[in-house]
Amino acid sequence: MKYIKKLTLLLLLMGCNTEDDPLTTGTTVNSEWLIPTSQVFDVVGKDAIPALENPEMSKIDGANLEFMDDSDLVLVYESGGEVRAYAHPVLDWHEIINDQIGDDYVAITYCPLTGTGIGWGREINGSITTFGVSGFLYETNLMPYDRLTNSYWNQMFNQCVNGFLIRETPEFFNLVQMNYAALKDLYPNALITSNNTGHIRNYNTYPYDNYRTDSEILFPISRSDTRLHPKALVRGVEINGSAKAYPFPNSNKRELIIDEFNGKEIIVVADEAKGFMVSFLNREIESTPLVFNLIDEENSNLILEDQLGNKWDLFGKAVEGPNAGSQLEVPYSYIGYWFAWATFYPNVTLYELE
């Protein structure tokens, strides 16, 4: 029986090595979190989803765009007259694109699980950083990390939630989401991310099956709201910490919504066929509140006309008229799945469509 005893001892020794390692017992490197860590899950590991840095851009209908369908969505950023589009089929696989347009250092952050695309400034406290994908999810939403300090951020929480830069808020860069067909019509001179990313991925395949349209949510969230289908796309607008969500109107034509929320007049223009919905705060020019009418021209990126004769584009810039060059303020707002807005803003107001 002495050999049985030896075997038993060997097994016990193996067991001793495995249970007491502090790395497996949940010590926290940075103890303070602004979000409950019980809702933060380490899903794939840091950089398992590789963010892109200054990726190659193609002209519309240029090279390496065979993977794009007209119905694919893109996130469009405009700066100094240059328009760049970041394709969902690329972002589905990379989630963050660090780019520079002129003097704008921007990170295109996109979470495929919440459907949210938000532009973040990459200049934090005077230093230029890049963001990577931490592999964590909070409320099933993307958590970037910045590579200068390794601090963790949450996209929809819109703040650094753990680490050296805790409580820092990134600068908001307005992105306009639309489909590829609309991009070709409205911004034919835009540049767009190609499939020459430096990574081999199947960009013409959506990596999450039917997730965009089914009712399933892949990781736990803390609440649900059944007023809309979970994956209904809405444009959420946050004013002073409160949110209102605007669903796409049940219409195939361009729609103008003028609404009041938290003391602000919100201008929303939606065009489901082109996949865009934008929002602005109304403003006065020379003490005159603007009154808008919709411009509904098929191949024009001008969407609003005011009583002064100004014509405003999708980014809220007056490009024609006496006040050309003026800008409408874009509130903190972006398109995402309804369930995500309802999770992050439990008291979100839902705009009632007529």
Partner 1 sequence: MPRALLFSLILFPAQLIAQCCSGGVPMSNNIGLPGADKGILQVNLTYDWNNLQNLKTESSSLNDNSRQRETHSFLLELGYSISDRLSIDLFIPMIRQERTIISTLGNVDFDKTQGLGDIVILPKYSLTDKIIIGAGIKIPTGHSDRTDDGLTLVADLQPGSGALDGVFYFAYSNYLTSRPSLGYFGNIIFRATGENDSYLGSSTYQFGNELQLIAGIADRFLVSKLQIDPSLKVRYREAGRDSFDQSEFPNSGGSFVFINPGISIVVSQALSWQINTSIPVHTFVDGTQLAPTLQINTGLLFRLNLKQKEFEL
Residues near partner 1 (CB under 8 A) are 1, 3-4, 7, 10-11, 14-15, 17-19, 21, 23-29, 37-38, 40-48, 50, 53, 132, 135-136, 147, 198-202, 205, 207-209, 211, 214, 216-220
CA atoms within 13 A on the CB side of 348: 30
Positive or negative, the Cα torsion across 222, 224, 230, 233?
Answer: negative
CB 18, min distance to partner 1, A = 5
Q: Which is nearer to partner 1, 24 or 252 (CB)?
A: 24
CB 167, min distance to partner 1, A = 19
Question: CA-to-CA distance for 156 and 205, rounded, in angstroms?
Answer: 26
Q: Which is nearer to partner 1, 53 or 168 (CB)?
A: 53
Query: Quick one: which of 67, 53, 221 has its CA closest to 137?
Result: 221
Q: Which is nearer to partner 1, 21 or 103 (CB)?
A: 21
Question: C-alpha angle 20/25/26, rounded to 5°?
Answer: 160
CB 141, min distance to partner 1, A = 14
Question: CA-to-CA distance for 83 and 175, rounded, in angstroms?
Answer: 11
CB 208, min distance to partner 1, A = 5
Query: Quick one: which of 272, 278, 205 has its CA closest to 236?
Result: 278
Q: Side by side, which strands form the sheet with 332-337? A: 332-337, 233-239, 242-247, 349-350
Q: Which is nearer to partner 1, 16 or 287 (CB)?
A: 16
CB 50, min distance to partner 1, A = 5
Structure tokens belonging to residue 46: 């840091």
Question: CA-to-CA distance for 208 and 194, rounded, in angstroms?
Answer: 21
Question: CA-to-CA distance for 77 and 61, rounded, in angstroms?
Answer: 18
The number of angstroms, rounded, from the C-alpha of 274 to the middle of its chain's C-alpha atoms is 18
Q: Which is nearer to partner 1, 53 or 259 (CB)?
A: 53
- The letter for the amino acid at 127 is S
CA atoms within 13 A on the CB side of 243: 23
Under DSSP, is residue 183 helix (H, G, I), strand (E, B) or coil?
helix
Question: CA-to-CA distance for 238 and 98, rounded, in angstroms?
Answer: 25
Q: Which is nearer to partner 1, 14 or 241 (CB)?
A: 14
Q: Which is nearer to partner 1, 174 or 197 (CB)?
A: 197
Q: Which is nearer to partner 1, 153 or 312 (CB)?
A: 153
Locus of tokens 């999708």 = 314
CB 190, min distance to partner 1, A = 26
CB 37, min distance to partner 1, A = 5
- Contact status, residue 120 vs residue 132, Cβ threshold 8 Å: no
CB 133, min distance to partner 1, A = 10
CA–CA distances in Å: residue 78 to residues 5, 37, 83? 74, 36, 4
Q: Which is nearer to partner 1, 35 or 232 (CB)?
A: 35
CB 116, min distance to partner 1, A = 19
